[in-house]
A and B are shown apart, each in its own frame.
Chain A
Amino acid sequence: MNLSRFTLILTTFFGLSCFAQNKIEFTEYDLENGLHVILHEDHTTPIVTVSVMYHVGSKNENPDRTGFAHFFEHLLFEGSENIPRGKFSEYVENAGGVLNANTSNDRTFYFENLPSNMLETGLWLESERMLHAKVDIKGVETQREVVKEEKRQRIDNQPYGSIVTEIMKRAYTVHPYRWPVIGSMEHLNAAQEEDYIDFYKKYYVPNNAILSIAGDLDIEKTKALIEAYFGPIPRGTGDIPTVEDAEPPLTQEIRDTVYDNIQLPAVVQAYRIPPNGTDDYYAVSMLAQLMSQGESSRLQKKCVNETQSAMFVGAFPFGLEHSGVTLSFGICTNDTDPKDLENEINEEFEKLQLELISDKEFEKLKNQIENDFVSSNSSIMGIAESLADYEMYLGDANLINTEIDRYLSVSKEDIQKVASKYFVKDNRVVLYYLPIEESENGE
């Protein structure tokens, strides 16, 4: 039975025209104060997601106040003029909802998932956060300690937890991507009252935010409620400083060793890549997928299944607003020399520069992209976030429906081209993670 041949014929026959897609309808507009609003209506389940994305992340921080954007995310759950300390989460939980937030290099995202009759509560909470958040000394001190514990738990006490930090500080010399989102604890300690006020006034303003709501809602009623809760919030008075994408290219390979509390060595490579949304980025992203998505992907097949030099291996593009990196990461199996694993990984990248990928592999990539694209819109929470992401980074929320075309217009030659352009020795940082000591405890 030659299944693969059969499928190939079928796929070629149907071509690209039958890609499965359910179009996401949405409405978008600006309030007078500059707040961009996106609404998506879906009555399948009686729930709603209310989210606000602020265009501020760690790259907007002062070099002597790193970690501030993420710290702010913690502080903005403390309360507001009308919400006493500790009640923010209680309101949401009492409403039967869940809430959370996260901060990246480029933006900060807050959301509530609520039963749909609680939509107004979500609007109230988010508008309070934008209009007049309030943080007292106890709140600042508590959250500072909480962030320190978060850092210990996620980075210091986690095997390989410092990889991103160690990579980024070597991959960038000028651009604020060089420091980690969690930032410096000393900087947080040093922060003064005016730092908080400045940051809030500068970035937490309607003209720097997107309100994205999805779920069981009525568009007109929701618009009226949004006007009532967010309309009176004043537009920010100052300019919102922009950060330049001005990092000079790497000119030669940077190599280093990090000793960590780990048992198995790891090889980490970071190749500098162009920003999210550029033509080359889509080709880079498909290249990474070819390398590591699925058991038949090249790195997986080679290093995990054939030579068995890796426990785990993968390549992941960090699609950032400015020039980012693709991280390739492999954990050695017991007794494998990291040098050997690195050579295998390098060979696979070099192969892409020398040979075009096969038609069959190319079809596979497209099929995987279609599957991922369809799956990504399976929850209203995911839809609300994607709409805001596309609007914020690429200025077009409708990419939620059309971004797949950008992937599908990438050719095999484009993949070869970006392999030669970006996945080369002089454009990478290589780190070996080695165990601090060979502990034999419990073997």
Chain B
Amino acid sequence: MMKNILTFALTGLLTVTISAQVQIDRTKAPTPGPAPKISIGKAEKFVLENGLKVIVVENHKIPKVSFQLTVDMDPVLEGNKVGYTDMAGELISAGTENMTKSQIDEEIDFIGASIQSYSNGMFASSLKKHQEKLLALMSDILLNPAFPQDELDKKKKQAISGIKSAKSNPNVIISRVGNVLRNGKEHPYGQLQTKAHVEAITIDDCKSFYKNYFRPNISYLVIVGDITAAEAKPLVENYFGKWEKGDVPQNEYEQPSADWNTRVAFVNKPGAVQSVINVTYPIDLKPGDQDELTAKVANAILGGGVFSGRLMQNLREDKAFTYGARSSIRSRKLVGSFNASASVRNEVTDSAITEFMYELNRMSSEKVTPEELSLVKNNMNGTFALSLENAQTIARFALNTERYNLPADYYETYLEKLAAITVEDIERVAKKYIRPENAIVLVVGNKEECAEKLTKFASNGKVEYYDYEANPIVLKPKVELPAGLTAEKVHEDYLFAITGESSMKNVQKKYKKFKSLTTVASASVEQMGQTFTIQMTSKAKSPNMSSIEIKVAEMGMVVEKAVYNNGKGISTNMQTGKKNLEGKDLAKQKEQSMLDKELKWKELGYAMDLISIEEINGKNAYKVQMTSKDGEVRNVYYDTESNLKVYASSKETGADGTENQVSQEFSDYKEVNGMKFPHKIAMVNGEQEMEFVVTKIEVNGKINAAEFKLD
């Protein structure tokens, strides 16, 4: 049928005449005209004496030309110098025997052109009228690279910074770690560059790589644009004819395979607000494999290009877990890969993975519907046509046909092959390549908030932890909660620890004598090279007065002040002005005036639950979850040995709706009037971090009631 459409293209469209009064029925989609004829532009080929294969694709739409050189080498294993081939590739254009890097840069920019070199080739493009100049530069760069030491030093410095900056990007982390987990560090596709690797790279490594591998007899030059083959031939001979051929090393590798049952791997990124999820594993799929097209169709149904893909519809349009969920099936020279990924908010990480696994399982165990298949086929048909607008696509087809020994009519018959794919073909291929049972569920995210819930996806019930460079991290074995221990008991022990008492009766007695409290704490903040001191003064007078004031000491400027007095409160903020405290804010300030609030948590409407034992700064602590009557949750951690409160964290929503993790770390407990107080409090509020040191604590000192006046 597809053949008919192709043959009778356009005839239908031409016979329809549309008058000025077109009748339409907008209640249903218009019937399309016959599909237009798709023709793939021609590519001309010739070979130079030195073995360089040249492909020319004409496109005269705009007066530009491009030259892409591909050196078709086997991937190189770089050992303890990962990244040296990339560096060598970049250095090729960083100076020749005739020109310094800065001269080359000037020359390229002067004609508005671009030339890049990389580990397996070069790309150059310019306006047609500058093509000779461009080729002269490209040829000098390719044939006479000088590999200057100082340029290598620069690249090394940048690479080290790059490694550092990669640590802040969850997408980079997940891709690096994913490569290692799929292929192993001893495979070219699993190599991961570290600082030590960069430092070990020498200029000789780069020179010998160039000398061994950059040879015309394994290379292709693809020329696209406003040029004919007849015009290109003498140019290429002139500029690349002198490139010397040579024997090139051939490298073979054992093919990685997914010889494991479903694993869960986690990379902790503290403070992350989203989990980046990637369900991934290696697949045996190389370019030109006869399953390749069918596998791509199967993937499109699952989560490929179309918005209507199952993952997108399920995780975004139905569940609203993510901005986008997609999958890919990639064929590559040594080994292919499957990836399904999304960025989702922390609290739905496990639910999102459940949906990923559900969709993968459904693909591999159930037939797809004919409608789904036809949608994807229609879409791929159309996008194939759209892609032909770009002459580089035609050039890529020609290059792939050569590189991967595809049948000469591989792309000409692409649409026929696509049309012939059946539901049964998809079923067979999905079973072969979509394998949730052999997948690695890799997550980069906030360990504290997400990691534990993921054990259920691992066939061995365990989460594997990795650092940013894919090294396994061994966590200390989890300590179980002692049987019978309750949150109330943990809290009591804490009260004993700070009061030095051993019965609740005595604790209460001690708190009764506690009438007022003044605390002054300060933190220094670096701002534009200047150090500022933030001073926080809080005062409380039992049972119903309290105030807090935050001041920048150097400027004597009060940033914020809040006062509570017998049921009413006000706050004054430098930016937003004065307002009455209401609702939760009022309740919080009220609690500040109750010096015995730690005893009265039940009356204040809190529920306490003992959750687990967690590590805080290398020491075990009981995690107690405190839930207020409004449902706000705060996690409080008590050291298992000293029983002191060492850490607390909660989530707060700012005025602009962004969620922040707010935490405090308490340390340096010292006794004041028979009670222990932490003298160091490190606070983190989203992106802000401040360490407060207590400079003064006064218990039962005299506080003038005027301090708490509401005006």
Asked whether B167 lies within 8 Å of A370 as measured between CB atoms, the reply is no
> Within 8 Å of chain A (Cβ to Cβ): is B568?
no
Render A38-61 as a binary contact track against B, CB cut-off 8 A, 1 for contact. 000000111100000000000000
Residues of B within 8 A of A441 (CB): 167, 467-468
Residues of A within 8 A of B321 (CB): 145, 149
Interchain CA distance A432-B528 in the complex, whole Å: 8
Asked whether A152 lies within 8 Å of B345 as measured between CB atoms, the reply is yes
Interface residues of A in 201-230 (CB under 8 A from B): 216, 221, 224-225, 227-229
> Within 8 Å of chain B (Cβ to Cβ): is A402?
no
Asked whether A262 lies within 8 Å of B165 as measured between CB atoms, the reply is yes
Partner of A224, one of B19, B379, B382: B19
A-B contact count (CB 8 A): 302
Residues of A within 8 A of B117 (CB): none
Partner of A113, one of B19, B105, B386: B386
Partner of A263, one of B38, B129, B164: B164
Residues of A within 8 A of B272 (CB): 157, 261
Q: Which of B21, B305, B343, B381 has the most CB atoms of chain A within a 10 A radius of its CB?
A: B343
Partner of B110, one of A187, A308, A367: A367
Interface residues of A in 75-119 (CB under 8 A from B): 82, 86, 89-91, 93-99, 113-118
Residues of B within 8 A of A62 (CB): none
Nearest Cβ distance between residue B202 and chain A, in whole angstroms? 19
Partner of A158, one of B105, B164, B169, B375: B169
Render A307-327 as a binary contact track against B, CB cut-off 8 A, 1 for contact. 010010000000000000000
Interchain CA distance A104-B98 in the complex, whole Å: 47
Q: Which of B23, B37, B468 has the most CB atoms of chain A within a 10 A radius of its CB?
A: B468
Residues of B within 8 A of A121 (CB): 29-30, 32
Interchain CA distance A16-B162 in the complex, whole Å: 41
Which chain A residue lies CB-closest to B104?
A295
Which chain B residue lies CB-closest to A228?
B22
Interchain CA distance A123-B24 in the complex, whole Å: 11
Asked whether A334 lies within 8 Å of B157 as measured between CB atoms, the reply is yes
Nearest Cβ distance between residue A260 and chain B, in whole angstroms? 6
Nearest Cβ distance between residue A88 and chain B, in whole angstroms? 9
Render B23-66 as a binary contact track against A, CB cut-off 8 A, 1 for contact. 11011111011111110000000000000000000000111100
Which chain B residue lies CB-closest to A226?
B22
Interchain CA distance A99-B305 in the complex, whole Å: 11
Asked whether A296 lies within 8 Å of B133 as measured between CB atoms, the reply is no
Interchain CA distance A199-B164 in the complex, whole Å: 45
Residues of A within 8 A of B110 (CB): 4, 7-8, 296, 360, 363-364, 367
> Within 8 Å of chain B (Cβ to Cβ): is A27?
no
Interface residues of A in 134-152 (CB under 8 A from B): 141-146, 148-150, 152
> Within 8 Å of chain B (Cβ to Cβ): is A186?
yes
Render B93-105 as a binary contact track against A, CB cut-off 8 A, 1 for contact. 0000010011101
Nearest Cβ distance between residue B637 and chain A, in whole angstroms? 20
> Within 8 Å of chain B (Cβ to Cβ): is A280?
no
Asked whether A308 lies within 8 Å of B308 as measured between CB atoms, the reply is no
Which chain B residue lies CB-closest to A143?
B320
Known: A22-B61, A221-B18. A128 touches B26 (CB 8 A): yes
Stretch at the interface among A242-250, A343-351, A373-381, A416-424: A373-381
Asked whether B38 lies within 8 Å of A141 as measured between CB atoms, the reply is no
Interchain CA distance A45-B38 in the complex, whole Å: 8
Render A253-276 as a binary contact track against B, CB cut-off 8 A, 1 for contact. 001111111111000000000000
Interchain CA distance A295-B103 in the complex, whole Å: 10
> Within 8 Å of chain A (Cβ to Cβ): is B390?
yes
> Within 8 Å of chain A (Cβ to Cβ): is B13?
yes
Stretch at the interface among B281-289, B488-496, B652-660: B652-660
Known: A45-B388, A369-B112. A90 touches B375 (CB 8 A): yes
Asked whether A150 lies within 8 Å of B109 as measured between CB atoms, the reply is no
Residues of B within 8 A of A150 (CB): 323
Nearest Cβ distance between residue A342 and chain B, in whole angstroms? 10
Residues of B within 8 A of A93 (CB): 306-308, 375, 378-379
> Within 8 Å of chain A (Cβ to Cβ): is B271?
yes
> Within 8 Å of chain A (Cβ to Cβ): is B295?
no
Partner of B385, one of A7, A45, A154, A261: A45
Render A367-405 as a binary contact track against B, CB cut-off 8 A, 1 for contact. 111111011011110000000000000000000000000
> Within 8 Å of chain A (Cβ to Cβ): is B688?
yes
> Within 8 Å of chain B (Cβ to Cβ): is A284?
no
Q: Which of B38, B323, B529 has the most CB atoms of chain A within a 10 A radius of its CB?
A: B323
> Within 8 Å of chain A (Cβ to Cβ): is B364?
no
Interchain CA distance A256-B529 in the complex, whole Å: 11
> Within 8 Å of chain B (Cβ to Cβ): is A252?
no
Which chain B residue lies CB-closest to A47?
B386
Asked whether B107 lies within 8 Å of A3 as measured between CB atoms, the reply is yes
Q: Which of B111, B113, B344 has the most CB atoms of chain A within a 10 A radius of its CB?
A: B111
> Within 8 Å of chain A (Cβ to Cβ): is B274?
yes
> Within 8 Å of chain B (Cβ to Cβ): is A156?
yes
> Within 8 Å of chain B (Cβ to Cβ): is A277?
no
Interchain CA distance A264-B656 in the complex, whole Å: 27
> Within 8 Å of chain A (Cβ to Cβ): is B273?
yes
Known: A95-B32, A115-B386, A380-B389. A186 touches B167 (CB 8 A): no
Residues of A within 8 A of B103 (CB): 4
Interchain CA distance A260-B24 in the complex, whole Å: 55
Residues of B within 8 A of A377 (CB): 62
Interchain CA distance A256-B527 in the complex, whole Å: 7
Asked whether A258 lies within 8 Å of B154 as measured between CB atoms, the reply is no
Nearest Cβ distance between residue B586 and chain A, in whole angstroms? 20
Known: A95-B32, A156-B273, A185-B658. A3 touches B136 (CB 8 A): yes
- 21 A-B residue pairs with Cβ-Cβ distance under 8 Å, sorted by A, are A3-B107, A3-B137, A20-B62, A82-B28, A86-B308, A90-B375, A93-B307, A153-B274, A153-B323, A157-B274, A185-B658, A216-B36, A224-B22, A227-B20, A257-B528, A262-B168, A364-B109, A374-B63, A379-B389, A437-B689, A443-B194
Which residues from chain A sit less than 8 Å from chain B, CB to CB?
1, 3-4, 7-8, 18, 20, 22, 44-47, 82, 86, 89-91, 93-99, 113-118, 120-121, 123-124, 127-128, 131, 141-146, 148-150, 152-154, 156-159, 184-189, 216, 221, 224-225, 227-229, 255-264, 293-297, 301, 304-305, 308, 311, 331-334, 339, 360, 363-364, 367-372, 374-375, 377-380, 432, 435-437, 439, 441-443
Q: Apart from A45-B388, A149-B323, A152-B274, what 7 extra A-B contacts exist at CB < 8 Å? A: A20-B129, A96-B378, A152-B345, A257-B526, A293-B109, A374-B127, A442-B167
Which residues from chain B sit less than 8 Å from chain A, CB to CB?
13, 18-24, 26-30, 32-38, 61-64, 98, 101-103, 105-114, 126-129, 133, 136-137, 154, 157-158, 160-162, 164-170, 194-195, 270-274, 276, 305-308, 313, 316-318, 320-323, 343-345, 374-375, 378-383, 385-386, 388-390, 467-469, 471, 526-529, 655-658, 687-689
The 4 closest A-B pairs by CB, nearest first: A96-B382, A185-B657, A371-B112, A145-B320
